[in-house]
Structure 1
């Protein structure tokens, strides 16, 4: 598994390249956070943690997940699989 973690002040964003289906929803929906022309391509402090979390919940493949740093490892995707 190729998972990369992008650390922000209020949210950590995890990306699993093995799962990604390249739908483009991430970059189309929050281009300030997800920008393929930048390195790193994920900027977890470029929007609110709530906005990023809500957008990640729309990822169709589950390649993007998150951890809110003021919460207990909670993500919608993890809760659905529990």
Structure 2
């Protein structure tokens, strides 16, 4: 599920965690795509498919985002980037 915010950020959730993507901050380094292609696929819509990965591996990949364009949180508490 994706949801667009006023600052152009988009949220994607699998029910357990939510990824926030800030496209204006993204440097398109492709770390996310190369690291977890099943979840992060720029050739599909939406380009983040949370159902294709385990929560912990998604969190680990988001933490590797060099620009900070990706962040995530458990739906009941914040997760550090």
Same fold (TM over 0.5): yes
TM-score after normalising by structure 1: 0.84
CA RMSD between the two structures: 1.1
User: Are 2:49 and 1:51 aligned?
Assistant: no
Structure 1 moving runs of 4+ over 6 Å: none
Contact 1:20 1:62 (C-alpha < 8 Å) held by counterparts: yes
Distance across 1 between alignment mates of 2:52 and 2:74: 15
Shift of 1:44: 1.2
Number of aligned positions between the proteins:
75
Name the SS of the counterpart of 1:21 in structure 2: coil
State the shift of 1:67 in Å. 1.4
Q: Hey, what's the Cα distance between the residues in 1 that align with 2:41 and 2:19?
A: 14
Q: SS state of the match for residue 76, structure 1?
A: coil
The answer for unaligned runs of 5 or more in structure 1 is: 78-82
Confirm or deny: 8 A CA contact 2:39 2:48 kept in the other structure.
yes
Deviation, 1:75, is 2.2
